[in-house]
Homo-oligomer: A and B are copies of this chain.
């Protein structure tokens, strides 16, 4: 059954307009009588379609279920804006794995130093589509771009993954509670940036003895946490 995220949970009747109506009517070509799922804020609403037109789709809510695919803890990923579409790859995979919030940042060695509104919109679209196809209950948020010092102030006891750290390993330090992970840019984090993070209460951790590219590090870190914590 096709899934769509909507901003407001439907009551007894459901309405889709704009892009979503067009997709139902002209891309998926769903017919009255067929069912789809509208997901809002962790609840999915099963809708039986009544009228399908390009401009508006209407239907009747016939069942409601709490979505059970969300992690039991908040998982924030602070991710640099990487060259090409590497950050987008991270957003897609990390959304499938359960990340609840993305925090883009720039640091000393960042090659890309801005997140245009077009690009931020692309990240949001990728997160929404990945949340739909992976059967998530919520779409992760994409925050605005911040510099390193502001990032540290926004996070509560983050875990900074640093390739020069040898211990502790990530899975040893995120055993309970909400988790905020920070991954460095292509050229890595600078020693003074790591020191500033440590002073502010961050834990500096290792992903292992091999050197990972930034996007592999981000996806692997999220997968390690999910593997260890999600039941």
Residues of A within 8 A of B (CB): 68-69, 89, 92-93, 96-98, 133-136, 169-171, 208-213, 215-216, 219-224, 226-228, 230-231
Most buried by B among A169, A171, A216: A216
User: Residues of B contacting A226 with CB < 8 Å?
Assistant: 208, 220, 224
- Is there an interface contact between B169 and A212, defined as CB atoms closer than 8 Å? no
User: Residues of B contacting A89 with CB < 8 Å?
Assistant: 89
19 A–B pairs (Cβ distance < 8 Å), ordered by A: A69-B209, A96-B211, A96-B213, A97-B212, A98-B208, A133-B211, A133-B213, A134-B210, A134-B212, A169-B227, A170-B227, A208-B226, A209-B230, A219-B220, A219-B223, A220-B223, A223-B224, A223-B227, A224-B228
- Is there an interface contact between B97 and A211, defined as CB atoms closer than 8 Å? no
- Is there an interface contact between B93 and A219, defined as CB atoms closer than 8 Å? yes
Given A69-B210, A171-B228, 14 other A-B residues pairs in contact with their CB atoms under 8 A: A92-B216, A96-B213, A98-B210, A133-B213, A135-B209, A135-B211, A170-B227, A219-B219, A220-B220, A220-B222, A223-B223, A223-B224, A224-B226, A227-B227
Q: Name the distance in Å between A149's Cβ and chain B's nearest Cβ.
A: 30
- Is there an interface contact between B171 and A216, defined as CB atoms closer than 8 Å? no
- Is there an interface contact between B208 and A230, defined as CB atoms closer than 8 Å? yes
Complex Cα–Cα for A98 and B226 (A)? 19
Q: A93-B216, A209-B69, A219-B93 are in contact. Are A227 and B224 (CB under 8 A)?
A: yes
Q: Name the distance in Å between A133's Cβ and chain B's nearest Cβ.
A: 6
User: Residues of B contacting A133 with CB < 8 Å?
Assistant: 211, 213
Complex Cα–Cα for A68 and B222 (A)? 25
User: Residues of B contacting A224 with CB < 8 Å?
Assistant: 223-224, 226-228
Complex Cα–Cα for A134 and B92 (A)? 23
- Chain B residue with minimal CB distance to A97? B220
